[in-house]
Structure 1
Amino acid sequence: MKTRNISKVEIETLFQDSLLNVRAIEIDNKEAFSFAAPNGKIGGNLFYGDTEKIGVRKQIKLDSTNLNFRSLATPNNKTGFVLSISSPALLYKIDIDSIKLVYQENHPKAFYDSMDFWNNQEGIAIGDPTEDCMSIIITRDGGNTWTKLSCDDLPKAKEGEAAFAASDTNIAIVGDYTWVATGGKASRILFSPDKGNTWEVYKTPIIQGKETTGMYSLDFYDENNGFAIGGDYTKPNDTLNNKIRTNDGGKTWQVVANGKKPGYRSCVQYIPNSNGKELVTVGFKGIDYSNDSGDSWKHLSDESFYTIRFLNDSVAYAAGKGRIGKLTFR
């Protein structure tokens, strides 16, 4: 397979709202795009005959409180799930004509960061510890009920270990395999080979030790090859130990492009059909591209986005402060 060398990105703004900071987006198929945001707003494609626009579809409020959604999952074209940060943590199942609260957690430390599904029936969400382990909730019935795993069945969290609700990419799934990225004073990988039934934990060499350090985003191309990025968002230009790669399914990780840009980024994604060679990362300091599995990077744009998802090997949707854009890589 010939290695591509993308040299630029074209950005088309699809939706603007100065009050929205969007950190959760999903692409269901070629026609279905969804996003979740603060103020309880959920949106996506809106079709007017042959005209397509991006806009807000629904808004969910708890009494007079606006909910902050940073986790979104769309396991099929008809059903979506949104999960709010902070307490009470509220998880809603959204069908075409209904919105149903399917999980609520009132613990004062409740704070959920990311959500994903293995298939139409089984899904997972992860959050900061409320006891002495990461919070993990799982559904096995299409999202109608969710159960929180006991700390007896999970690796113990280290002091100050949590996760970041920066881009809804703390979880990576390939088949039955699941990887969860933690961050903060400790930044490790929780791994399950069997859709969340059993778990083990792996160390990483990414920068850690402060509440603002660690992995902010994780992606796996296949069962062996994965990449994580982060750093310290309070020092976004620092480039030491903020990019790591694995080729053995997350058991061991190596720092790559150490001391070289990019610095802090909030989301990384493999480009589809790139044999695990091509990566794009975004953050409030811009967009960067690698075609050698992360060994070297090219800065494509200073445009700010928090999260990105690929439609194909050239087109992606990205979201950030006040806007959602369509990105075309050439």
Structure 2
Amino acid sequence: MNIVTPESELDWVLVLAPFRKDAEYIAASLREQAVEVKAVKADEDLVQHLALSPGIIVITHEALSPEVVGKIAEHLAEQAGWSEVPIVVLLERSAPVARIRTRLQASWPDARLLFHTRPISPLEFVNAIQSNMLVRLRQRQVRDSIERERELRLELNHRVKNILASVSSIFRMTRRGAASVDDLADDFTSRLQALSNVHTAVFEAGGEEVSLCDVVGLTVSPYNSDGMSRINVSGPEITVGREAGTTIALCLHELITNAIKYGALSEPDGTVEIVWTIAEAGGPKLCLKWIETGGPPVREPTRQGYGTRYVRSAFASLFGSLPDISFAPDGFRCSVSGPLSRVTPQNHNTAD
């Protein structure tokens, strides 16, 4: 016999009715209501059909042999914790119901047992089956909720580890460049706030991706207050992954901090342009530029501070190539480019 796996593991009924035309009668009444049915003889293909995980089992009095009861018990023992298979038992009116119930409850403790005496009206029988199909649907929803909760726990664990790693790295690098405890506290706090801001943007976006416009806008908004735009932003609307958005925001924060201390934003008339474009030649590439004007004359520092080191390292890791950093006399410049695919949302493995 060829067995076709049903589309859903929960939407079909297995009927065990070896005598007379019980199986045909039961199957016909269910199929009239568009319920998928598989009818088997108690001694034919039972194990194979149970392996297909029927949503409901209907078994007649005549099929309750020790062998069949044992095979069904083995099947039930293999069920997941969320699964409580409904088993509809059709008994003869003269059957010792109490004794059979006690026996089956002992043999099938993890089943949802329902007993009916024959004859049973088609309407009552179909209603019983449909009600228990709804029960199975609810059980499946519980299963899905359990799986989603598991995935969320793994995702939360992954994100917390990443955040703690970022915080630890930020602290170590900030401490190396701090001249005093106050400087350490101020710089470390501002960098944590930048990290918080981008996580807020990603959370509000509702997933693993976020608008680059939103990331940049949220990062520069504290510096464009009172109707003044010291930092001008332009670029096409594109979506980037959570990790890419975080990296870009933190790099921009470092560039802004440097510009406030030493560059264009340290002068009243100084401005910054943040521009990104998509170049199609040779495959889509994201090009991101930081351009300062109107600041004091620029001289290349004798040693690299935290900001420059972080920007070089983070942009190189994200884009796959080192950024071009120029201490031009008329204004600091930073540009970086790389395949668009490196910053767009990627499948995220939560099992790390």
Structure (1/2) with the larger strand percentage: 1
- Give the TM-score taking structure 2 as reference length: 0.26
Which has more radius of gyration?
Answer: 2
Structure (1/2) with the larger helix percentage: 2
- Which has the higher relative contact order, 1 or 2, with Cα contacts under 8 A spaced 6 or more apart? 1
